[in-house]
């Protein structure tokens, strides 16, 4: 059982809620800052991982930028203090009004994924009397060795410009007057723990630079290698943050840059995941024929990852010290998929016990919904409790 939680105080808060360890977040941001500064790397926080305003403000306080995938994320980032010259807008399907939001705020860059998108951005920018900085998101066809739902860098995925189309896209850019080509962008997937995948990405970027961009004398200033660094869901206390030192060193060793090029990253899960925990209380323990069900007051509406793609989260009973038993930990939602874990070994559990669903700081609160007309979970912070 983790000792990091102020259990007595948390027991007084109405569940379910998200609890954020702000000291761990600060420690993680500090390590990222130190390791990235060794190589003058530029860090953008992937807002989609957690758009909680206080989290955004804390990330911004370390001088990082914001990587956004919607117009509302752009607006939220600016409201949290990120400067427009550090806000990047990615995403395969940007609506016209979202593009307008980016242009009105003179954001740093749009990461473009197709010729039709490029043409629309140019058309809207022309109408507004603007010039849009754009980077080309290229699908590098690199296997990321992760879950099929969160891989993004293969030819079968919807993301990015295919390698064989790059020349055609560069030709189109030369025809357009209201876009300015500044970078290339890659993202091969999420929750990647096999660092060899990033070595493969470096090799592919090097090949593309040599074979296409250098030959065309269209050398981009920005090389955005994405994010995707995984975290340890099994042992959050033993490994509260990934090995950022080793991660950044891979790109320093294997990425071949041209003079004046900048390397950019978009880190999300690795920044915020371990600092967040979904807290819940046991409503009932139901005895089945062969299974004990611990029915808790948090459901898939509060944390959808286990139901969406069978994601694992460590579950702890913070208040029981009795002998262990096994439980299926399930929520109250009227769906069979509303299950957080099967045959979970826990101290003997009963009504009112405080349960912690760990490593929920990324893709937890931000994906919460009101299915079954449930209330959204509130957020509680370690430095304010």
Tell me phi and psi for residue 206, to 5 degrees: -60, -45
**3-state secondary structure (DSSP) of residue 105:** coil
What the block records as the tokens of 61 is: 């306080």
277-323 confidence digits (pLDDT tens): 999 999 999 998 889 999 999 999 999 999 999 999 999 999 999 99
Say what the pLDDT of residue 362 is: 98
Closest to 68 (Cα-Cα) out of 90, 85, 50: 90
Burial 155-181 (b: 16+ CB within 10 A, else e): eeeebbbebebbeebeeebeebebbeb
**3-state secondary structure (DSSP) of residue 231:** coil
Q: Looking at residues 177-182, what average pLDDT do you find?
A: 98
- Does position 153 have pLDDT exceeding 60, yes or no? no
* Cβ-based neighbours of 58, under 8 Å, separated by 6 or more: 22, 25, 26, 29
- Does position 254 have pLDDT exceeding 60, yes or no? yes
User: Is residue 157 very low, low, confident or very high in pLDDT (cuts 50, 70, 90)?
Assistant: low
Closest to 4 (Cα-Cα) out of 242, 316, 344, 351: 316
Count Cα neighbours of 192 within 13 Å in the Cβ-side half-sphere.
Answer: 28
- Does position 379 have pLDDT exceeding 80, yes or no? yes
pTM over 0.85: yes
Say what the pLDDT of residue 144 is: 57
Q: How does the average pLDDT of the chain come out, rounded?
A: 95
Say what the pLDDT of residue 149 is: 46
Q: Which domains does the chain have, with CATH numbers?
A: 7-16+274-381 (2.40.37.10), 22-273 (3.20.20.10)
Q: Looking at residues 26-48, what average pLDDT do you find?
A: 98
Say what the pLDDT of residue 294 is: 98
Say what the pLDDT of residue 143 is: 62
What the block records as the tokens of 180 is: 């300015």
Say what the pLDDT of residue 3 is: 62
84-128 confidence digits (pLDDT tens): 999 999 999 999 999 999 999 999 999 999 999 999 999 999 999
Distances (CA, A) of 125 to 95, 97, 101, 102, 122: 14, 12, 11, 10, 5
Q: Looking at residues 365-369, what average pLDDT do you find?
A: 98
Residue count (the chain): 385
Round to whole Å and give the CA distance between 186 and 257: 15
């Amino acid at each position: 059982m983790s000792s990091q939680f102020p259990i007595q105080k948390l027991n007084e808060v109405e569940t379910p809620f998200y609890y954020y360890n702000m000291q761990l977040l600060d420690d993680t941001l500090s390590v990222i800052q130190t390791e990235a500064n060794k190589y003058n790397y530029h860090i953008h926080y992937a807002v989609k991982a957690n758009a909680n305003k206080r989290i955004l403000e804390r990330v911004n306080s370390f001088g990082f930028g914001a990587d956004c995938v919607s117009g509302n994320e752009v607006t939220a980032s600016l409201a949290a203090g990120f400067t427009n010259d550090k806000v990047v807008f990615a995403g395969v399907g940007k609506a016209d009004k979202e593009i307008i939001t980016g242009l009105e705020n003179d954001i740093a860059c749009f990461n473009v994924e197709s010729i039709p998108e490029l043409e629309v951005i140019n058309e809207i920018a022309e109408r507004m009397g603007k010039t849009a900085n754009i980077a080309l998101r290229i699908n590098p066809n690199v296997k990321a060795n992760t879950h099929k739902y969160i891989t993004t860098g293969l030819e079968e995925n919807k993301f990015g410009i295919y390698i064989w189309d790059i020349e055609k896209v560069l030709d189109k850019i030369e025809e357009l007057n209201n876009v300015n080509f500044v970078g290339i962008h890659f993202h091969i997937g999420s929750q990647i723990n096999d660092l060899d995948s990033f070595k493969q990405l470096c090799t592919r970027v090097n090949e593309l630079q040599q074979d296409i961009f250098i030959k065309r004398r269209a050398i981009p200033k920005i090389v955005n290698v994405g994010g995707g660094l995984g975290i340890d869901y099994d042992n959050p206390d033993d490994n509260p943050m990934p090995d950022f030192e080793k991660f950044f060193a891979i790109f320093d060793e294997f990425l071949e840059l041209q003079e004046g090029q900048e390397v950019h990253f978009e880190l999300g899960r690795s920044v915020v995941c371990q600092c967040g925990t979904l807290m819940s209380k046991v409503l009932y323990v139901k005895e089945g024929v062969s299974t004990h069900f611990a029915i808790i007051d948090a459901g898939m509406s509060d944390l959808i990852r286990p139901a969406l793609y069978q994601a694992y989260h460590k579950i702890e009973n913070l208040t029981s010290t009795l002998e262990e038993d096994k439980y299926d930990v399930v929520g109250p939602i009227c769906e069979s998929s509303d299950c957080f874990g099967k045959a979970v070994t826990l101290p003997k559990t009963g009504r009112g016990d405080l349960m912690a669903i760990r490593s929920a700081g990324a893709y937890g609160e931000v994906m919460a919904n009101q299915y079954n007309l449930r209330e959204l979970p509130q957020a509680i912070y370690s430095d304010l409790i």
